[in-house]
Amino acid sequence: MRILDSKNLSVPGYKAWGIHSGIKKTDKKDLAIIYSEREAAIAGVFTKNRVKSACVLLDMARVKSGKGQVIVANSGCANACTGKNGLADARATAEIAARELGVKPEAVYVASTGVIGEFLPMPKMETGIATASGLLSATGWEQAAEAIMTTDLYPKLAIVQEEIGGKTITIAGIAKGSGMIHPNMATMLCFIVTDANISAPMLKKCLLASTERSFNSITVDGDMSTNDMMLCMANGAAGNKRPGVGSKDSKKFQACLDAVALSLAKQVVKDGEGATKFVEIEVRNARNPIEAKRAAMTVAKSSLVKTALFGEDANWGRIMAALGYSGVEMDESRTDIYVGKTKLVEKGLGQGKHADREASLALKQKEVQIIIDLHKGKTAAAVWTCDLSYDYIKINAAYRN
């Protein structure tokens, strides 16, 4: 697998672009289109929130066909909690794009992110889709990534290449965060495309596995959105032989998809609302994978752990307290905690002022690793989170202003 520079992102057979259509009050981009020159296999993962945006409802129905060709995504308005009118607007959005791009309406998927409870400004959508369709470019991915941003500070892109079935295949994606970030899914939009030739069922299976290891392993604020979705198109332009179930090629494909999804997920955490630190929490020697991840996630979510990280304070008692209420089998007197390379806690007991000082130094870095050894089993899991800062409050107190 080769990790390419996402500055020069392009994938054979795809075009993309993003523009400002007037949905956002500012002059920032707010409408993106992703277009495959041929019909592609498609798979999707959607929010598990009972309250789903109109676009999620529409796409969940469409993705059953396993086929798609276009994604229209807007920021600034979530088209969630908008009832029947919202659903009609989502459908109309797809129809406009289908007309502009000469594809079937059912091959168009729509995605929205932004304020809940407001209706899409359809005249602006119509003009915007026409404009963006005319500008589509093989190298328009950064524009598209910018156009799906809300409180994100920078666009998120990733691209890898691999040899599969004798051909070079490319997998690339864009994503947006950056609040309401928590598994199942994180609040986010993520669109991945590949020129690989792969069946829709295998694509779905791979996407679910990648999601679990990437977007379902991050948290920013513990809130789950109404609009989360990840869509993955595979248009077969690479001309490779389809990888068979369980084949070496299918494993290579999975690894590439994992890499793109994880890169994007980590970018989402790094750009978490108000985040000043990127924190990896690894739990080792848990009884099983579910407990390993739950323990790590409980620590990653704790407001008190996250504020201590912001304060660069090695307050390990808060980590121990979070482990204690995680519901995971653990024993304080067997638990070790490391910050970076410093063993801060051994068998449940603090290792003194020197360790405390060393850990505090490690916490001054932009990237922090916390390792928790439960000594209860043999399974490990890692999750990624950020600190909780003044700016998270600032961004979210005034979000609709």
Query: Which are the catalytic amino acids?
Result: 187
The reply to whether 88 sits near its own copies by the rule CB under 8 A is no
Contact by Cβ (8 Å): 214, 257:
no
Nearer to its own copies by Cβ, of 351 and 369: the residue is 351
Please give the size of the binding site for its own copies, defined by CB under 8 A. Answer: 62
Q: Tell me how crowded residue 103 is: count the other CB atoms within 10 A of its CB.
A: 18
Which residues contact residue 206 at a Cβ distance below 8 angstroms, ignoring those fewer than 6 apart? Answer: 43, 198, 250, 253, 254, 257
Binding mask of the shown chain, residues 109 to 148, with x at each position contacting its own copies by CB under 8 A: ------xxxx------------------------------
Question: Could you give the CA distance from residue 287 to residue 319 in angstroms, rounded to a whole number?
Answer: 19
Which residue in 106, 321, 369, 382 binds its own copies (CB under 8 A)?
A: 321
Tokens of 245: 């179930």
Q: Tell me how crowded residue 64 is: count the other CB atoms within 10 A of its CB.
A: 10
18-26, 37-45, 50-58, 90-98 -> range binding its own copies (CB under 8 A): 50-58
The reply to whether 58 sits near its own copies by the rule CB under 8 A is no
Q: For residue 175, list its beta bridge partners.
A: 156, 190
Name the phi and psi angles at 124, rounded to 5.
-65, -40
In this structure, is the dihedral angle defined by the CA atoms of residues 73, 76, 79 and 80, taken in order, positive or negative? positive
The reply to whether 46 sits near its own copies by the rule CB under 8 A is no
Which residue in 212, 280, 282, 313 binds its own copies (CB under 8 A)?
A: 313
Nearer to its own copies by Cβ, of 167 and 334: the residue is 334
The reply to whether 221 sits near its own copies by the rule CB under 8 A is yes
The reply to whether 365 sits near its own copies by the rule CB under 8 A is no
Nearer to its own copies by Cβ, of 58 and 308: the residue is 308
Question: Could you give the CA distance from residue 126 to residue 309 in angstroms, rounded to a whole number?
Answer: 45
Half-sphere exposure of residue 205, counting CA atoms within 13 Å on the CB side? 12
The reply to whether 196 sits near its own copies by the rule CB under 8 A is no
Cα 313 from chain centroid? 29
Interaction site with its own copies (CB under 8 A) = 48-52, 78, 80-83, 115-118, 179-180, 184, 221-226, 301-304, 307-308, 310-311, 313, 315-318, 320-325, 330, 332-333, 345, 347-350, 388-390, 392-394, 396-401
